Structures are given as structure tokens and as C-alpha cells.
Amino acid sequence: MAKYNENKPVHTGDPVVEAKRACIEHRAYWMALILDEVRKAGGDMEKVGRAAINRCGCFQINENFKDKMTDPMSMKEFGAQFVAEPITFENKTVEITDDVMHVEMHYCPLLNAWRKLGFSDEDCALFCDIAMEGDRQFARDMDCEFALTKKIAEGDDCCDLCFTRKK
């Protein structure tokens, strides 16, 4: 790890935001504990995790995004849906255009959960990358390239996600 990021939220005290973060943490508990049990049983935790999260991404892109969009391939509409509630992950929208959706996330409730469970920095970084399979599936479904240039789980100040329309 390059450096340790404490991953502390700036926006606190809002019961709705805290409830959303708690739900996301609960999801992260399930994910990490199931993957850890797969590993303990001798299975390929990473292969299983990536496949499952990819399947979840397929479901989410349709249920949570495309069904709410007038143009299911619109990067602007996708971006608006993706960052509709910016406080939970403390999102900062860098750019949303017809061709690009670039967002920074400055807090991660999933990472917070994995650390509460006592997982190593290396496991947390792997869980993070596995969890990003959902976003990678969003990109494939939207016919975009996906770049993740910074990760809180690897010590960066934010997760930097960029979806760019393929030319």
C-alpha cells in the first residue's frame, strides 16, 4: 500500500445518510464473509467474487439505471442516475457529458465494513477490486471504457472512476 487512508466521512449526523451507509456496510459484510469462507473451503474466492458481482452489475444496470432512463444508452442520463445521491459516498462529479462520466468518491462504506471485520489491507484492496466488477459491467453494458485510476482501499484520497464512450 502506498499509504494508509483512514476513510473517514466528512458529512455525518444525517440519519438518512447514516442508514444508507449502514445498509452498504451490511452488504459489504456479506460479500467479504462469503468470499472468505469460499477461500477457507479451498475455492477460488476471486473467481467466485468477480463472477457474482458481475452478475449483480448486469441486474443493477437494468433495474436501477436503464429502466429509469428515457435513452438507455445516454451517458448524461446514466451519469445523473449514478451520482443522484452524492452524500453517501461523498461523490464529486468531475465531468458528465455525452461521452464521459467522471466521478470521484471520497468515502467508502464498503471499505469501512471490511476494516471493521479486521481484514488486511491486501484483502480490502482485493475486495474493492472485486466490488468494482459491478461498475465494469455497467461500462460494458453502456459500451464504454472504464478507468479506475485511484482507490481509497489502496491509500488514495478518493476512488476516481471514469466511464468514456467508445469511439
pLDDT tens column, 90-131: 999 999 998 999 999 999 999 999 999 999 999 999 999 999
Residue 21 in domain: yes
Grid cell digits, residue 132: 468494482
The confidence score (pLDDT) of residue 69 equals 78
Is it the case that residue 79 has pLDDT exceeding 60?
Answer: yes
* Average pLDDT score over the chain: 90
Residue 69 in domain: yes
- C-alpha–C-alpha distance, residues 74 and 132, integer Å: 21
The confidence score (pLDDT) of residue 57 equals 75
Residue 93 in domain: yes
pLDDT tens column, 24-35: 999 999 999 999
Residue 139 in domain: yes
The confidence score (pLDDT) of residue 50 equals 95
81-85, 120-124, 151-155, 162-166: least confidently modelled range: 81-85
Q: Return the higher-pLDDT residue of 97 and 84.
A: 97
- CA dihedral of residues 166, 152, 87, 119 (deg, nearest 10): 120
Residue 89's closest CA among 7, 26, 32? 7
pTM over 0.85: yes
Grid cell digits, residue 72: 438507455
Is it the case that residue 3 has pLDDT exceeding 60?
Answer: no
10-19, 42-51, 80-89, 98-107: least confidently modelled range: 80-89
Residue 65 in domain: yes
Q: What is the CA radius of gyration of the chain?
A: 16
4-8, 101-105, 113-117, 144-148: least confidently modelled range: 4-8
Structural domain containing residue 130? 15-165
Residue 9 in domain: no
Could you tell me the CATH number of the domain that includes residue 77?
Answer: 3.30.1380.20
Q: Based on the structure, what is the number of domains in the chain?
A: 1
Residue 2 banded pLDDT, cuts 50, 70, 90: very low
Residue 6 in domain: no
- C-alpha–C-alpha distance, residues 59 and 71, integer Å: 18
Residue 106 in domain: yes
